A = this chain, B = another copy of it.
Amino acid sequence: MASFTILEEFVVKKQDKLLEIAETYKPVLNHSSKVIKPDEKHLGRGDSQLIDFGNHYVGYITLIFRSIGSHPDAPLSLNLRFAERSEEFEYKSEDYHGWLSKSWIQEEVLHVDVLPAVVKLPRRYAMRYLEINVIDTSPKYKVIVDEVTFETVTSATARMVMPEYNGDVLLQKVDKVCQHTLANCMQDVYEDGPKRDRRMWLGDLRIQALANYASFKDATLVKRSLYLFAGLLFNDQQISSCIFTEPTLEPDDTYLYDYALQFMSTLVEYYEFTSDMKTLKELYPYAKAQFDYIYKQVDERGLLPDKEGEFWCFVDWGEDLNKEASANAILAYCLSDAIRASEILGYTEDRQSYTEMRETLVEAISNYFWNEQRGYYHSGSMKQISKHTQIWMLLAGIPKDPSRLAERLTTLHEGPEMVTPYIYYYLLTALLMYGRKEEAYSIIKQYWGGMLEIGADTFFEVFYPNDPQGSPYGSCLVNSYCHAWSCGVIVLLRKYYM
């Protein structure tokens, strides 16, 4: 299922003042060098050499080559493959035919006309492994890889801090890998994944911000991100789901209801961490505008109607998930954050109005989505029952007996599989809200622990415990194996397990 939107009408409305503020918080990237001196191998046509940097990093590669034999009488031609996980090398790029662009596959073909040579590759890579495949030298000479340097970059400044988990090695390891994942995604902006898409998504940002407050405790990049999103509106004051920074700051023509609404959550959480009232006050109107826009879509039931078949609300990857009930639950959830924000700002009228909106919405949700017979909330015309829907109902405080639903959630085994650490984070949050610490622990062990078991240096964008190389895009070659939304779990580790 290809999941993207192309808006026919798309009028960008940049807020220069906000963008200027965002630019003043543009981070300086910190560089460090990892140098590998590989074993001396004499490589000719068809030969390969694997370089392992020992951990996942983001940055730039420089290779030093020299020849052995006669004077090189033909160029050196190379194919270079960069992988976050070594298993990626089992797949060939020419066999990938999925809907995501092939251009995400980290692979280069290059000629070196003169040897010896210092070849500095201009593009940034996210990887641990480099496979150097010699397409050809000539019958008269072979090539030696003398040195490979990985100049890593991150805008994370704080060092990793390792809290105590009472000797629980698994939680220690999950915490550490979360921090490493987050740092590798902290670049000029909060990138979703430094391999792919290499840009900032609004729903991802919220989890990155929360993870940062729990670990590095540096809110500057969050502030910059909030100003960037608010500065890049389109059409009806809409906040884009994702923004581009190159060649100029631009919003994407994608609007996801759950992401747009969570701008309010991200803003109020930022205030709660920083007490930065100025920012809350300045950006609140943009958060509010998302409710105004989305409320125009509410139907005669008082609910957001289903838009099945469109890419309108994210919730999770995975096929066949109906998002109607989740979208409405998320609206109710974010209304709570709007109430909190308006209360902090002393906007009593807004507070009153958000409170009334929420009450009406909660009633409509209960009427239309609660399935008394099954004891679960359902979604869409086919009354699909999914874990996703129950999670957001719990988080939004909709159920009359939330503890009972939280318990029943742990035994629910129908509906589409959950595939991303994004929804898993909300699953854990919902379970822990209602005291289900043991079940949450076993999920952390199975899901994040499952990634560690297959050698994760950073946590993934998607993970199917029963199919470690699985991909929603048709090939693991375009998966992102360092994806910041996976590090939300650190928030819960440090809150509930330390």
Residues of A within 8 A of B (CB): 2, 4, 6-7, 10, 45, 69-77, 99-104, 108-111, 113-116, 123, 135-140, 196-197, 199, 242, 244, 246-247, 250-253
Contact = CB atoms under 8 A, between A and B. Distances in A.
Nearest to A196: B74
A70 B234 CA distance: 13
Given A108-B111, A111-B103, A73 B252 contact: yes
A101 B4 contact: no
Given A2-B139, A70-B252, A116-B247, A75 B99 contact: no
A110 B110 CA distance: 8
Given A6-B140, A101-B139, 12 more contacts: A71-B250, A73-B197, A73-B252, A74-B101, A74-B104, A75-B101, A75-B103, A75-B104, A102-B135, A102-B136, A113-B123, A114-B246
Identical chains bound together, number:
2
**A interface majority secondary structure:** loop
Given A6-B69, A45-B102, A69-B6, A246 B113 contact: yes
A75 B197 CA distance: 10
Contact of A136 (B45, B101, B138): B101
**Top 3 closest A-B pairs, CB basis?**
A74-B101, A77-B103, A109-B109
Contacts of A6: 69-70, 139-140
B74 A197 contact: yes
A33 B114 CA distance: 26
A139 B108 contact: no
Nearest to A114: B246
11 contacts: A4-B140, A6-B140, A10-B70, A45-B101, A70-B253, A71-B253, A73-B244, A77-B101, A77-B102, A101-B136, A108-B110
A203 to B, nearest CB: 16
Most chain B beta-carbon neighbours within 10 Å: one of A73, A109, A138, A253: A73
Contacts of A70: 6-7, 10, 252-253
Contact of A101 (B102, B138, B252): B138
Contacts of A242: 73
Contacts of A73: 4, 101, 197, 199, 242, 244, 252
A102 B137 CA distance: 8
A74 B103 contact: yes
A252 B71 contact: yes
Nearest to A44: B101
A367 B73 CA distance: 40
Contacts of A252: 70-71, 73
